[in-house]
Structure 1
């Protein structure tokens, strides 16, 4: 009878599979971990991601030079492992690594941290995070919301395609968390919390009360004249 070694006999992964994950989570910027950089077609400069581009271009002293990158316009990327410039694709044509474990052909979006649950929403036209099954697209508000809000939120037409009324950042493609106020208008969650800390209880857009103030009114009614 043949004797079997106690050592593991599991097959060794093919070299091509090992290569795909080489350098994972070792490259990128403060916004994304990825193994490529992008060449911005608008200014022909190289950046780690569109947010890095927008931060740099938005801070230029000459207002005429300031601009933002249209994500779908990206055509060329540079592999961070072998420095080969090439057409945007998931796998490097030269060294064979995944330039992003998650890759969206439409958005030209790369990210090595797949635990975010990235997915592309056809109605929004961009990639979202949080898991496709956890969100639904509201056609009136014009954006994806948590399934807990489906049929349970006041709709304001294209409410997400606007600027946060506190910090003035465009909400639709912001990487910060957002919330829907009781009036239906939207803003960043951080900005909402900051308003609450400063005892600001009205929507900056329509001035409607955004908190349940019934207890406050009761206390006021009970105070002596």
Structure 2
């Protein structure tokens, strides 16, 4: 019997054998019965991988204007394809899960922490709201009533921001810039939904959010501004001082000496008229070179 097909709900419930720690994403002692399609899956990710993520994974190559298809095998059977009716593709409503199957005795039962038949603990961490089981309690799982889902990292290390609608590290409690529903959107780089992502998320100075690994990839390709609003994503003061030196060492030809341009600063939103320079235009309000030209060159007054 194809155990991978069983795990991802491609066989009927009666064909599921008793296997310990049946989920590839979590260490747990049960499978969940999806209320939407009536099939058994190791967890919600197993279901969504089989029922939703039928398209090839890709990542944007910065500066190329194209997307690269990742050269890696899909971790689950791609049940969906272009030939499958799009109406059959769906995500599991995790809070509506009513039944689980014990991996030790194969007993189908109501959602609970201990098996009603053999008494086995199906998850050292158990959330009756999210219908979530996990034996690896080192993650510091906790349920956030504000988010409505379980998160990791330890409840003592995070706070819920009501305006942003998500949990942030205590380090950001008095310093982050609030953006309404900050994580209720896709990552601007890889387009994965951020709110319930299992990957680490970075909060930029502007308040927008992005996967940490995507942020690191941007920096590796010398992109240091927010992909959403173009504000600097980190402290760029050292870079601006270096640009000051380069601009001073690179005088423009006489024909450009009196040419002025209007610029918009991406960091402070100030609009200014500055002398044109091929290396960059410095904002007189905040000294940032993260600016864009908004009008054609005009004679200096």
TM-score (norm. length: structure 1)? 0.86
**Correspondence 1:80 to 2:103:** yes
The correspondence for 1:45, drawn from 36, 39, 42, is 39
Matched, 1:207 2:230: yes
Distance in structure 2 (CA, Å) of the matches to 1:217 and 1:210: 14
The 1-side partners of 2:115 and 2:193 are apart by 33
Counterpart in the other structure of 2:198: 175
> How far did residue 187 of structure 1 move?
0.6
- Name the residue aligned to 2:28: 34
2:143 and 2:151 in contact (8 A); partners too = yes
Kept in 1: contact 2:23–2:31 (CA 8 A):
no
- Structure 1: give runs of 5+ residues left out of the alignment: 1-25
* 1:71 pairs with 2:94: yes
SS in 2 for 1:216: helix
Q: Which residue of 2 aligns with 1:148?
A: 171
Residue by residue over 1:144-163, the C-alpha shift from the partner in whole angstroms, topping out at 9 and shown as x without a partner, is 11111111111101101111
- Shift of residue 64 of structure 1? 2.2
In 1, distance between residues paired with 2:48 and 2:42? 11
SS at match of 2:218: helix
Distance 1:161 1:107 in 2: 18
Structure 2 counterpart of 1:5: none
Query: How far has the Cα of 1:218 moved from its partner?
Result: 1.6
Give 1:29 deviation, angstroms: 2.4
Match of 1:56 in 2: 50
Residues 58-110 of structure 1: CA distance to partner in whole angstroms, max 9, x if unpaired? 12113222111111011010000000111111110000011111111111000
Report runs of 4+ in structure 1 exceeding 6 Å deviation.
none
CA RMSD of aligned residues (A): 1.0
How far apart are residue 30 of structure 1 and its match? 2.6
Q: TM-score w.r.t. structure 2 length? A: 0.65
> Do 2:177 and 2:206's aligned partners in 1 also have CA atoms closer than 8 Å?
yes
Q: CA deviation at 1:215?
A: 1.6
2:146 to 123, 135, 158: 123
Write the distance in 2 (CA, Å) between the matches of 1:178 and 1:145.
10
How far the C-alpha of 1:183 sits from its partner, in A, is: 0.6
Segments of structure 2 that go 5 or more residues without pairing to the other structure are 1-19, 55-79, 251-301
